[in-house]
Structure 1
Amino acid sequence: MGQLIVVNFVSLDGVMQSVLSADEDRDGGFEQGGWVLPYVDEAVERFMSEATAAAGALLLGRRTYEIFAAVWPHADMNDPAVAAMNAMPKYVASRMLRDPEWDPEWANSTLLGADLAEEVRRVKDASAGETLVLGSGGLLGTLIEHDLVDEYRLLVFPLILGGGKQLFADGRGLRRLTLTATRATPSGVLINTYRRADRGQGHTAAVST
């Protein structure tokens, strides 16, 4: 069985909304879009590139998929992460899109069915590698609710936004995690890796700077 890995940017107060640009997600009147950019140093870029290039598939919510599909098919294919992202299978979760109306904008894309939890279990069962979830706040709520995430790789940025959509919203129940690795980048971003406690590799994290 494959592993479902969540890789996401979060603020100190847990916000993951509109990380790269002001217009990415203005829901709720959010005006702080693009908040990660001042902190994206070479270490952050390298981590994201390596995580993406090593993945076997992507699982994305509709909004994140549409943002990515508008950019990555036209990006530099000499970049290993870009080439991998374009070549790998991409699974899209959406309550709005339904076959046969959907015409994928990005090669190797598959629209998942209405029973999302069961569809994701099927994807994991069929995979021997890592399926990466990037962004996709709405999708993450379902994945967390059904306890489908094997590992979180969270890049925690040193700022407090004071509002916005949070990665871990109320009402999703207790989850015990094991910190397996942590390191700080020169810009102050903490890259923390957590596994489900019953799947962890111990209780001592590897700490580096």
Structure 2
Amino acid sequence: MRKITAQLFISLDGVVEAPDQWHFPYFNDEMGAAVDVTLGRVDTLLLGRKTYDSFAGAWPEREAAGGEDAPFAKVLGDARKIVVSNQQLDFTWRNSEQLGSDLIKAVTALKNEPGSSPIGMSGSVSVVRQLLAAGLLDELHLLVHPIAVRKGMRLFEEGEAPIPLKLISAETFQTGVLNLFYAPVESAGEATYDDAKAHLPQTEQ
């Protein structure tokens, strides 16, 4: 079964909306390499419609312009791009197609397709939320920026059911950005204050 990995730029206070307005001062070679792992080394991308529209509105022109970002633009263009939308879409960017109307059923079928490369996601917050809730997202890659944006959509909305995660790896970039890899787990376990207090520092009376 193919894995799905989602990468998000996120602020210290959990904002994921409009990262183009606050994350570029932190974009260095380390972050470029991290983005390449999720987007530049996969053969399939799963994107929400808004993220796809943003990509399709920029990367084909950058590929055609032949600038320093043209090779990465070509990688994105060559990848299979599967778009989640409730509306019928017309595509102009090559290798683009629309996912079936039943998200959970269609993504489950996608994961069962042959292939060893992970399916990459970028942004697409509403899709990430649904896949996490359905247990279909295998890894969540968060690039946590040392800035409190203080406005905008957060990654996690208020809801009834907690979503426990386990930390797979953590790396600190020179800019202070944290590159954190998480995977879902069935449960965070159970504990009370009585369990926790055993780990508090003990002082002599």
Deviations 1:59-81 (A, max 9, x none): 11111101100111222478553
Equivalent position of 2:73 in the other structure: 82
Equivalent position of 2:45 in the other structure: 58
- Deviation of the 1:147 alpha carbon: 1.9
Deviations 1:136-168 (A, max 9, x none): 122222222212110011100001122311112
Contact 1:178 1:194 in 2 (8 A): yes
Match of residue 97, structure 2, among 96, 110, 132: 110
Contact 1:53 1:80 in 2 (8 A): no
Looking at structure 1, the residues matched to 168 and 71 of structure 2 have their Cα atoms a distance apart, in angstroms, of: 26
Secondary structure at the counterpart of residue 162 of structure 1: coil
Match of residue 179, structure 2, among 172, 177, 191: 191
State whether structure 2 residue 126 is matched by structure 1 residue 125.
no
Alignment of 1:143-154 (within 5 A): 143-154=131-142
**In structure 2, do the counterparts of structure 1 residues 171 and 184 end up closer, same or farther at CA, with 3 Å as the change threshold?**
same
**In structure 2, do the counterparts of structure 1 residues 43 and 132 end up closer, same or farther at CA, with 3 Å as the change threshold?**
same
Looking at structure 2, the residues matched to 46 and 79 of structure 1 have their Cα atoms a distance apart, in angstroms, of: 16
Looking at structure 2, the residues matched to 135 and 121 of structure 1 have their Cα atoms a distance apart, in angstroms, of: 20
**In structure 2, do the counterparts of structure 1 residues 172 and 83 end up closer, same or farther at CA, with 3 Å as the change threshold?**
farther
Deviations 1:30-69 (A, max 9, x none): xxxx111111122111211233221121111111101100
- The normalised TM-score by structure 1 is 0.80
Alignment of 1:29-68 (within 5 A): 34-68=21-55
Percent identity for Structure 1 against Structure 2: 30
In structure 1, stretches of 5+ residues that fail to align are 21-33, 199-209
Contact 1:6 1:151 in 2 (8 A): yes
Q: Max radius of gyration: which structure?
A: 2
Looking at structure 1, the residues matched to 76 and 27 of structure 2 have their Cα atoms a distance apart, in angstroms, of: 20
Deviations 1:92-142 (A, max 9, x none): 0112x22xxx32121111111221111111111114221111111222222
Secondary structure at the counterpart of residue 111 of structure 2: helix
The root-mean-square deviation of aligned C-alpha atoms, in Å, is: 1.8
**In structure 2, do the counterparts of structure 1 residues 48 and 172 end up closer, same or farther at CA, with 3 Å as the change threshold?**
farther
- The normalised TM-score by structure 2 is 0.82
Runs of 4+ in 1 over 6 A off after TM superposition: none
**In structure 2, do the counterparts of structure 1 residues 127 and 189 end up closer, same or farther at CA, with 3 Å as the change threshold?**
farther
Looking at structure 2, the residues matched to 122 and 185 of structure 1 have their Cα atoms a distance apart, in angstroms, of: 36
